[in-house]
A and B are shown apart, each in its own frame.
Chain A
């Protein structure tokens, strides 16, 4: 769905909303603090027929379901790699000594992940829907880390299908909802345990209880490896909707709030694991890094940013009394100056003035692009340690993975 969905608010209402959101601290229509998310109900593992699934219900009634299915697919061999494969891999098969080196050779491809978004009442080739799915898959594939997890061996890989369904009618811009649901579904995704070795045709353990999670839980990693005990393992990305009104930064805006946004951004972040610290040879530096990590909780990494066209641009402007003929404004260029304009010493034509200058309490849709400083501040606020992202990730961690 397009973010520029019609909002049935009059210019006067928009001006009021904008004014209350510009206050310090801002007053939001639903009484939330600027960084507070809408309360939500989440559950995972709702569909036994999928590799991972999740459902999230926001308090405003919007609801989404995500199902993840995986299939084994043959990797297309590229000419360059083919020769390497024949030289060293073909005969030895599963040699333990080679395991380490093949671990490093893991590489993923963006085509291994397929994402579809279904929104009721909209065609699936709708530009808004396509934009949503592009944003979500972009965040997932941005660092190439995710696709690498789908590597089985040099000849096979997992093909992951992510089907995102919005159940409710789109009441607000569904990006945060879909992103959080996808995050949970990926967290609960398990792939069968590989039994075959090396480049054999893959053969899997049929015990589902033994199937490892695609994103290993932190408690499990601490059980298996001794080095990365403190690591919060890498998590799937989350995409947050952030908007700016005057000098305020507001998270998870509702539809009405988005209608008065000066700028809106979709920011994708992920929390990274201590991959780097375990690989670090120097034990002192490693310890320092771990200490730092413990202090900070988790490293947040920015994956992608997209500007969202705020629907506020398409809202009708209000007309100031000064320019309103019904209130005695003169329409002629050289008329007598109305009362409101008398304090102005300059000889500005009142009609022109009201169209170009901001008048207190009269709604003017924002024009032009967002300022760089504003965009910078938005991103900064998202990446802030102990901020909203931490809160959201902590909350999602609390969801029981069925």
Chain B
């Protein structure tokens, strides 16, 4: 079903009724699972992702040629050699996650690429040098897909790493950006769009950008569609801005959970927490 982009200019509203710079509803939880070292659940619109982090642990025995943690989507590791912890990311995309049921086979190229992108993004932020000869297993489960999958995966993995207490420089917050008209339309005046959903992702040029915390430092930039170079700058600017909003959201989730844990007495209130509003 082709996306009707002509109506955008009439009301400046997108198919789901958002303005150009609006994020979809983001809902996130951390520490969703008691057994894991770190876990999180993230919804961006209808994209729903769960993440479970185990580690840093001693690297397990590698079975056959498959990387450890190589579940459904296969595992991809980065770092690892000698003095740094290896980050092994496994992505399982549930068969029921898309509109039509589809079996995502093991070693699916697209899934492997997602895994390696997430792994590299986190390797830039986690202090892996503190855990030599060890391994951090990140297993991501995609429960429902509606665009911006890579961004959701990165955000969920970041939250789970925070929950696992792995030292990191800052949040790696990710977001997608697009443009209001197709590449073929060659429209110079096309507006950039923030946070594409599945329908928009199919039709319009888009990119995924992840930044390191509040800074403008880009950790991930993935663009898989054709787009005129003149539009790229606007899209990137909107994307980086979206990442900042996303960072605020992630930070709020972590803080709220922290406050709740202190209130429940799970952890002791440490020094320097006096400024946290305990209502």
Contact = CB atoms under 8 A, between A and B. Distances in A.
Given A50-B96, A71-B101, A116-B95, A168 B71 contact: no
B27 interface: no
Contact of B71 (A46, A53, A65, A120): A120
Given A116-B103, A120-B69, A121-B71, A65 B141 contact: yes
A257 B68 CA distance: 27
Nearest to A122: B71
Given A120-B52, A120-B92, A163-B95, 15 more contacts: A53-B96, A60-B34, A61-B33, A65-B141, A71-B100, A118-B92, A120-B139, A121-B68, A121-B70, A121-B90, A123-B70, A123-B106, A163-B101, A165-B141, A167-B52
Given A161-B96, A165-B141, A120 B101 contact: no
7 contacts: A46-B143, A50-B96, A65-B141, A121-B139, A161-B95, A161-B96, A165-B94
Contacts of A167: 33, 50, 52, 141
A5 to B, nearest CB: 13
A191 interface: no
Contacts of B48: 47
Interface of B: 33-36, 46, 48, 50, 52, 54, 66, 68-72, 90, 92, 94-101, 103, 106, 137, 139, 141, 143-144
A62 B32 CA distance: 11
Contacts of B97: 49, 67
B89 to A, nearest CB: 11
B114 to A, nearest CB: 16
Interface residues of A, number: 32
Contacts of B139: 120-121
A313 interface: no
Given A49-B46, A68-B96, A168 B35 contact: yes
Given A118-B72, A161-B101, A169-B54, A61 B35 contact: yes
Interface of A: 46-50, 53, 57, 59-63, 65, 67-69, 71, 116, 118-124, 161, 163, 165, 167-169, 171
A165 B144 contact: no
A124 B74 CA distance: 10
A57 B33 contact: yes
Contacts of B141: 65, 165, 167
B71 A169 contact: no
